[in-house]
Amino acid sequence: MLSASRQARLLINGCKMNWIKGEGQARIFVGVTDDVLLCMTPKCASSSIGYRLREYWNHWPKKRSCHDPILPFYTIDERQRMKPYARIAQVVRNPFDRLVSNYRFHIQQTKLAKCANMRRLGFKASMGWFEFFDKVMSEPCADPHFAPFWVMEPWPQYTLRLETMHDDWIGFQEWAGVRLGDLRHDNVTQGSADWRQYYTPLMRQRVERLYARDLEAHGYGFD
């Protein structure tokens, strides 16, 4: 079990870790307008949003990827250096649900090949849920699929919740002053089992400790 101080250091330094194929930070911020950036949190409708923005930026369908470098993407450092006064929006999701969705998508749906960084970290397609969970808890900031929201963007000025995405997406467009159109469902994770069934009481406590700031800030919980 990580000490509280060690865990804090991991969280603070997490945004500097190698998060993508090759070297450097993940480009998790995408330009919506010249002065609005959206933090593209993995497993929080990032594919659906990415495809919609590609159409908006007239880059469809050159390459079928929601994370094409042709979009105006920025790392955390690039965002701070190049867009210091941009308004920041972020999509969030219940951390309990997000972890299970990651497991279903990358392991059960055998999509691990899409994430070179997770393979580099030692994630394997043969992992069971408990092994997967322990691996995530041991290195929570080693990949943006698991990193707490506040590590990626501590002070978003507008927050969209995955659970209410339809209404929040409409409100976001009004806030950003842009008309992007409706989102379509892309790269959907399969599985209908209640995510609560995946957690033992001890696992629940570990998630509550690690993601305490996200749970409190966005009003999420286990029940």
CA distances from 206 to 2, 20, 73, 134, 190 (A): 10, 26, 33, 10, 25
DSSP conformational letter for 147 = S
| Lookup: tokens for 135 | 């691996």
* Whole-number pLDDT of residue 52: 84
**Domain membership flag for residue 223:** no
Question: Are 88 and 172 spatial neighbours (Cβ–Cβ below 8 Å)?
Answer: no
DSSP conformational letter for 113 = G
Give the mean pLDDT of 106-112.
78
**Domain membership flag for residue 10:** yes
Q: Which of left, alpha, beta for 187 (phi over 0: left; psi -120 to 50: alpha)?
A: left
Spatial neighbors of 70 by CB under 8 A, at least 6 apart, are 54, 57, 59, 62, 63
Give the mean pLDDT of 182-202.
78
Q: What is the pLDDT of residues 7-22, one digit of tens each?
A: 434 443 443 333 433 3
Q: What is the pLDDT of residues 148-159, one digit of tens each?
A: 988 888 789 999
**Domain membership flag for residue 55:** yes
- More confident site: 204 or 25: 204
* Whole-number pLDDT of residue 176: 95
> Please, what's the b/e burial string for 125-152 (b: 16 or more CB within 10 A of its CB; e: otherwise)?
eebebeebbebbbebbbbbbbbbbbbbb
Rg (CA), the chain: 17
Q: What is the DSSP string of 41-108?
A: -TTSSHHHHHHHHHHHTT-TTTS--TT-TTS-EE-HHHHHHH-TT-EEEEEE--HHHHHHHHHIIIII
**Domain membership flag for residue 17:** yes
Rounded to the nearest integer, the mean pLDDT of the chain is 79
- More confident site: 115 or 169: 169
* Whole-number pLDDT of residue 211: 93
**Domain membership flag for residue 31:** yes
* Whole-number pLDDT of residue 40: 83
Q: Is residue 59 predicted with pLDDT exceeding 60?
A: no
Q: How confident is the model at residue 133 (pLDDT cuts 50, 70, 90)?
A: very high
- More confident site: 67 or 90: 90
pTM: 0.81
Output the domain CATH number for residue 82. Answer: 3.40.50
**Domain membership flag for residue 93:** yes
Q: Report the share of the chain in percent with pLDDT over 90.
A: 36
**Domain membership flag for residue 134:** yes
Question: Are 2 and 10 spatial neighbours (Cβ–Cβ below 8 Å)?
Answer: yes
Q: What is the pLDDT of residues 77-86, one digit of tens each?
A: 788 888 888 9
Report the SS3 class of residue 219. coil
Query: Total domain count for the chain?
Result: 1
Q: Is residue 222 predicted with pLDDT exceeding 70?
A: yes
The domain of 214 spans 4-218
Report the alpha-carbon distance of residue 183 to residue 218 in Å, rounded.
Answer: 22
* Whole-number pLDDT of residue 181: 87
Q: How confident is the model at residue 192 (pLDDT cuts 50, 70, 90)?
A: low
DSSP conformational letter for 188 = P
> Is residue 6 within a helix (H) or strand (E), and if so which, with residue range?
helix 4-14
Which of 42-51, 109-118, 186-195 shows the highest mean pLDDT? 42-51
